[in-house]
């Protein structure tokens, strides 16, 4: 999971470099791909990092912090 997050971070850094070089269209494409991948990782991460909360939500049980 951390390896996947590192890849997303690297894509964002690449987009920043492209913006500095005035390559706006390339930067937008890279950022869209990074955002899409990040959303996917957030969905996966939520169930992997805290499975108890996921089980509670499925059963309709309220949980506190």
Answer whether residue 64 is part of any domain.
no
Number of domains in the chain: 1
Predicted pLDDT of residue 62: 58
- Domain for residue 14, yes or no? yes
pLDDT at position 56: 65
Cβ atoms of 63 and 53 within 8 Å: the answer is yes
pLDDT (mean) for 29-45: 83
* Parent domain of 9: 2-59
Q: pLDDT-based confidence at 65, cuts 50/70/90?
A: very low
In a domain, 65, yes or no: no
Proportion of the chain above pLDDT 70, given as a percent: 68
Residue 27 within a domain:
yes
Q: What is the mean pLDDT of the chain?
A: 77
């Amino acid at each position: 999971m951390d390896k996947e997050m590192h890849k997303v971070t690297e894509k964002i850094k690449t987009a920043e470099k492209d913006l500095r070089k005035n390559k706006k269209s390339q930067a937008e494409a890279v950022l869209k791909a990074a955002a899409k991948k990040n959303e996917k990782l957030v969905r996966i991460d939520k169930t992997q990092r805290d499975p108890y909360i996921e089980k509670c939500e499925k059963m309709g049980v309220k949980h506190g912090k």
